[in-house]
């Protein structure tokens, strides 16, 4: 499978960031995360960009999480703490862009891909979109406290628990009803609708949009007063995590030990 890439194109005041690894449903490699970070740093320094659109290549997925090979060398809970801290750097670079961001979700937005969509300001999908974090059924790790907070903000606490405890996937209509998705449109309408939203944003006052985005971000982070590293270490340092990784790679059902 390919290493994949994250690409940037700019047309006028509009940036388009594309996750390009369609043979793996755009699952993110370390290289791709690094490229995303570099793109966000570059865009954050530019004064001509008014909006960024993020989408997955191929139409089958936005991003289907992190590539499982990232976890191959993990041996302790500290590895999980370091990984989640690193992922937060990449995610925060996207979240903190000083202009609106639009996630275009076609098909799957899973795990880290759902986290990336969650930090975008507007989310628009096609009817086949499916969103979830099925790690309770697969690899047996956990999220950072910041990503749990993003799930609660986007879906509400009850649905966030369904996603994390039951491993449920949320469809487009339900995600729209609870407010996570801004709109759901047909495949035929998608390109025109994204263009219309971008045009509206480009006509609006950039400073008002920027400070409003930053203010809302501060409100959402106000209740997070700890990193919860103990929880991350408990999951990533467990025997169950190793069992989950092995099961994922061999396509077998993990036999959890609660150890």
Which pLDDT band holds residue 225 (cuts at 50, 70, 90)?
A: low
User: Whole-angstrom Cα distance, residue 126 to residue 184?
Assistant: 5
Instruction: Say what the pLDDT of residue 29 is.
Output: 96
> pLDDT-based confidence at 228, cuts 50/70/90?
confident
Domain harbouring 45, CATH code: 3.90.226.10
In a domain, 28, yes or no: yes
Does residue 243 lie within any of the structural domains?
A: no
User: Would 146 be classed as within a structural domain?
Assistant: yes
Task: Identify the pLDDT of residue 204.
Answer: 96
Look at the chain and report how many structural domains it folds into.
1
CA 102 to CA 112: how far, in whole Å? Answer: 16
Q: Are strands 122-125 and 170-171 parallel, antiparallel or unpaired?
A: unpaired
Report which of residues 248 and 189 the model is more confident about: 189
Whether residue 9 has pLDDT greater than 70: yes
pLDDT of 226 > 80? The answer is no
Assess if residue 196 is contained within a domain: no
Chain mean pLDDT for the chain: 95
pLDDT at res. 221 = 85
Helices (H), 132-253: 145-155, 157-161, 172-177, 187-203, 206-221, 229-236, 239-250
What pTM was computed for the model? 0.93
Q: Is 82 exposed, middle or buried (0-12, 13-18, 19+ CB in 10 A)?
A: middle
What pLDDT is stored for residue 24 in this prediction? 96
pLDDT per residue as tens digits for the range 180-209? 999 999 999 999 999 999 999 999 999 999
155 is a domain residue: yes
Handedness of CA 166, 95, 234, 64 (dihedral sign): positive
Query: Is residue 177 scored above 80 in pLDDT?
Result: yes
Domain annotation covers residue 164: yes
The whole domain housing 151 covers 5-188
| Mean pLDDT, range 16-33, rounded to an integer | 98
The pLDDT > 90 percentage for the chain reads 91
Q: Sorting pLDDT into bands at 50, 70 and 90, what band is 222?
A: confident
C-alpha–C-alpha distance, residues 159 and 129, integer Å: 16
Q: Considering the domain boundaries, does residue 14 fall inside one?
A: yes
- Give residue-wise pLDDT tens across range 39-48: 999 999 999 9
- Classify the phi-psi angles of 253: left when phi > 0, otherwise alpha if psi is within -120 to 50, otherwise beta: beta
Separation of alpha carbons 245 and 140, rounded Å: 8
pLDDT at 255 over 70: yes
Mean predicted confidence (pLDDT) in 38-60: 98
pLDDT at 1: 63
223: confidence class by pLDDT, cuts 50, 70, 90: confident
Residue 202: the pLDDT is 97
pLDDT at 213 over 90: yes
143 lies in some domain: yes
| pLDDT value at residue 4 | 96
State the SS3 of 70-82. HHCCCCCHHHHHH
């Amino acid at each position: 499978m390919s290493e994949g890439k994250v690409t940037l194109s700019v047309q006028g005041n509009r940036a388009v960031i594309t996750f390009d690894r369609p043979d793996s449903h755009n699952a993110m490699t370390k290289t791709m995360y690094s490229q995303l970070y570099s793109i966000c740093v570059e865009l954050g320094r530019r004064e001509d960009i008014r909006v960024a659109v993020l989408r997955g290549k191929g139409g089958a997925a936005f991003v289907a999480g992190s590539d499982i090979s990232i976890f191959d060398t993990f041996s302790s809970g500290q590895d999980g703490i370091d990984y989640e801290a690193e992922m937060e750097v990449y995610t925060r670079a996207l979240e903190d862009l000083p202009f609106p961001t639009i996630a275009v979700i076609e098909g799957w937005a899973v795990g880290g891909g759902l986290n990336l969509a969650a930090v975008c300001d507007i989310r628009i999908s096609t009817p086949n979109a499916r969103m979830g974090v099925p790690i309770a059924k697969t690899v047996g790790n956990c999220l950072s406290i910041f990503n749990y907070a993003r799930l609660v903000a986007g879906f509400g606490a009850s649905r966030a628990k369904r996603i994390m405890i039951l491993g449920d996937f949320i469809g487009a209509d339900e995600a729209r009803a609870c407010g996570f998705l801004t709109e759901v449109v047909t495949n035929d309408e998608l390109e025109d609708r994204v263009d219309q939203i971008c045009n509206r944003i480009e006509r609006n006052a950039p400073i008002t949009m920027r400070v409003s985005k930053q203010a809302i971000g501060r409100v959402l982070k106000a209740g997070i007063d700890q990193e919860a590293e103990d929880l991350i270490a408990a999951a990533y340092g467990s025997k169950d995590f190793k069992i989950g990784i092995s099961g994922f790679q061999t396509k077998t059902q993990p036999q959890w030990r609660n150890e």
